A and B are shown apart, each in its own frame.
Chain A
Amino acid sequence: MSVSKIGRQFQGRWIWQNISFELFPGDRLAIVGSSGAGKSLLLRVLAGLDSIQSGQIIFQNCPLSTLDMPQFRAQVMYLHQQPALFEGSVESNLQQVYKLAIHRDRTYDRAKILAYLSSLDRSADFLERSVEHLSGGEKQIVACLRSLQLSPQVLLLDEPTASLDKTTTEQLEILIAQWQRTDALKAYIWISHDPEQIERVTDCQLALSGSPLPHA
Chain B
Amino acid sequence: MNNYIPIDNWQLALAAALILINIALSLGLRLGLARKLGIAALRMVVQLLLVGYVLGWIFALDNPLWVLLLVFMMSAIAGNASVNRTRRRFPSIYWNSFVSILAASGFVTGLLVEGIIHIHPWYDPQYVIPLLGMVLGNALTGTSLALDRLMEDLVSRRSQIESLLALGATRWEAANETLKEALRTGMIPTINSMMVLGLVSLPGMMTGQMLAGVNPTNAVRYQIIIYFTLAAGTALACISVILLAFQVLFSPEHQLRLERLRKIDA
List residues of chain A with CB under 8 Å of any chain B CB.
Answer: 47-51, 65, 69-71, 73-74, 77-80, 82-84, 86, 97, 100-103, 143, 146-147, 150
Contact = CB atoms under 8 A, between A and B. Distances in A.
Contacts of B168: 70-71, 73-74, 77, 97, 100, 102-103, 150
Given A48-B254, A51-B255, A70 B166 contact: no
A65 B165 CA distance: 16
A82 B256 CA distance: 17
Interface in B135-169: 159-160, 162-169
A102 B169 CA distance: 7
A43 to B, nearest CB: 10
A49 B169 contact: no
A77 B164 CA distance: 10
B253 interface: yes
B223 to A, nearest CB: 41
Interface residues of B, number: 17
Contacts of B84: none
Contacts of B173: 100-101
Contacts of B169: 70, 100, 102
B170 interface: yes
A49 B251 CA distance: 10
A97 B167 contact: yes
Interface string B65-98: 0000000000000000000000000000000000
20 contacts: A48-B254, A49-B162, A51-B251, A51-B253, A65-B253, A69-B254, A71-B168, A74-B168, A77-B166, A77-B167, A77-B168, A80-B166, A84-B160, A84-B162, A84-B163, A97-B168, A100-B164, A100-B168, A100-B170, A143-B163
Interface in B237-255: 251, 253-255
A53 to B, nearest CB: 13
A47 B166 contact: yes
A84 B254 contact: no
B253 A82 contact: no
A71 B169 CA distance: 9
Contacts of A103: 167-168
Q: Closest 7 A-B residue pairs measured CB to CB?
A: A74-B168, A84-B159, A69-B254, A78-B166, A102-B168, A84-B163, A84-B160
Given A69-B254, A101-B173, A80 B159 contact: yes
B166 A73 contact: yes
B160 A86 contact: yes
A111 B255 CA distance: 33
B167 A147 contact: yes
A69 B160 CA distance: 18
